């Protein structure tokens, strides 16, 4: 199972909105609504930010939102803040009954 | 609240078996599934496999031939064994609580770095 495709990096200025894409196939992202997004600061464990495409866990800011169209899922962060600078990973359930992650996207807040 | 802590050797020789344990505190291991996930230096995440308290497991097909995950409910721990390791198995290994019905990991350990080298 190949990793999901994410842009290597994105950037934005404080207050702006950015979107990170996560592209898979009809056997993973396109076939199931089990897409999650994780935030990882350097040297730290990942933190769940979005699950089931667009649901936010308790305690996660509503500046984070998720969506999906076809084989591509997206994470949008609005009102960008310095603390949002981190690596972001998507994950999806697959038709092989396994779980696959994206390669990760480094978000830089300018 | 539930916390996870990985433990085990930080250095393993090539061809040997990597062994790690995850201790669950603040909650019972009986109520969720539990996964191992790894991250090679500077790279992305890879799901290794999960276990339920009953002993039921599922593994990433790419690692299935070398992986064994087991559980000790009396100690609230679950463990990972990865055999015949090579330098490609060098990574930070995380244990995580697996909400398997939603395919998400909502609680993670801090991670432990394992280096494969002679």
Question: What are the sequence ranges of the domains in chain A?
Answer: 9-109
Q: What pLDDT does B29 receive?
A: 93
CB spacing of A98 vs B61 below 8 angstroms: yes
Q: What pLDDT does A97 receive?
A: 87
Is the domain spanning A9-109 CATH 3.40.30.10? The answer is no
User: B96 to chain A, minimum CA–CA distance in Å?
Assistant: 10
Q: What pLDDT does A103 receive?
A: 95
B82 secondary structure, DSSP code: E
Per-residue pLDDT tens over the stretch B41-81: 999 999 999 999 999 999 999 999 999 999 999 999 999 99
- Cα dihedral B62, B59, A92, B77, rounded to 10, equals -130
Looking at the DSSP assignment, which residues form a beta bridge with residue A23?
A: A5, A72
Task: For residue B110, list chain A residues with Cβ-Cβ distance below 8 A.
Answer: 44-45
User: B74 to chain A, minimum CA–CA distance in Å?
Assistant: 27
Chain B (66-85) residues lying within 8 Å, Cβ to Cβ, of chain A: none
Q: What pLDDT does B102 receive?
A: 83
CB pairs under 8 A between A and B: 60
* Partner residue facing B44 (CB), from A47, A51, A89: A89
- Rounded Cα distance between B91 and B79, Å, is 16
CB spacing of B47 vs A98 below 8 angstroms: yes
- Give yes or no for B46 touching A (CB within 8 A): yes
**pLDDT digits (tens), chain A, 110 positions:** 678 999 999 999 999 999 999 999 999 999 999 999 999 999 999 999 999 999 999 999 999 999 999 999 999 999 999 999 999 999 999 998 899 999 999 999 99
- Give yes or no for A96 touching B (CB within 8 A): yes
Q: How confident is the model at residue B100 (pLDDT cuts 50, 70, 90)?
A: confident
Q: What pLDDT does A1 receive?
A: 60
User: Hey, which bits of chain A come out as E strands?
Assistant: 9-12, 18-23, 35-40, 47-50, 64-69, 72-77, 86-93, 99-101, 105-109
Reading the block at residue B112, the tokens are 């432990």
- Rounded Cα distance between A88 and A11, Å, is 12
Task: For residue B34, list chain A residues with Cβ-Cβ distance below 8 A.
Answer: none
- Rounded Cα distance between B91 and B20, Å, is 12
């Amino acid at each position: 199972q190949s990793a999901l495709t994410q842009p290597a990096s994105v950037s934005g200025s404080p207050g702006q909105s950015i979107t990170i894409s996560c592209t898979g196939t009809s056997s993973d992202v396109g076939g199931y609504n089990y897409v999650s997004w994780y935030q990882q600061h350097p040297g730290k464990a990942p933190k769940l930010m979005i699950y089931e495409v667009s649901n936010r866990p308790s305690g996660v800011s509503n500046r984070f939102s998720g969506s999906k169209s076809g084989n591509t899922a997206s994470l949008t962060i609005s009102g960008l803040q310095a603390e949002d600078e981190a690596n972001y990973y998507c994950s999806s359930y697959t038709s092989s009954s396994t779980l696959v992650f994206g390669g990760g996207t480094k978000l830089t807040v300018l | 609240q539930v916390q996870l802590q990985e433990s085990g050797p930080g250095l393993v020789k090539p061809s040997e078996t990597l062994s790690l344990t995850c201790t669950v505190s603040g909650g019972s291991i009986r109520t969720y599934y539990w996964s191992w996930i790894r991250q090679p230096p500077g790279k992305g995440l890879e799901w290794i496999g999960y276990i339920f308290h009953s002993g039921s497991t599922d593994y990433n097909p790419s690692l299935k031939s070398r992986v064994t995950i087991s559980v000790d409910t009396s100690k609230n721990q679950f463990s990972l064994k990865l055999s015949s390791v090579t330098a490609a198995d060098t990574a930070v290994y995380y244990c995580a609580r697996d909400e398997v019905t939603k395919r998400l990991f909502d609680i993670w350990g801090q991670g432990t770095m394992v280096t494969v080298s002679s």
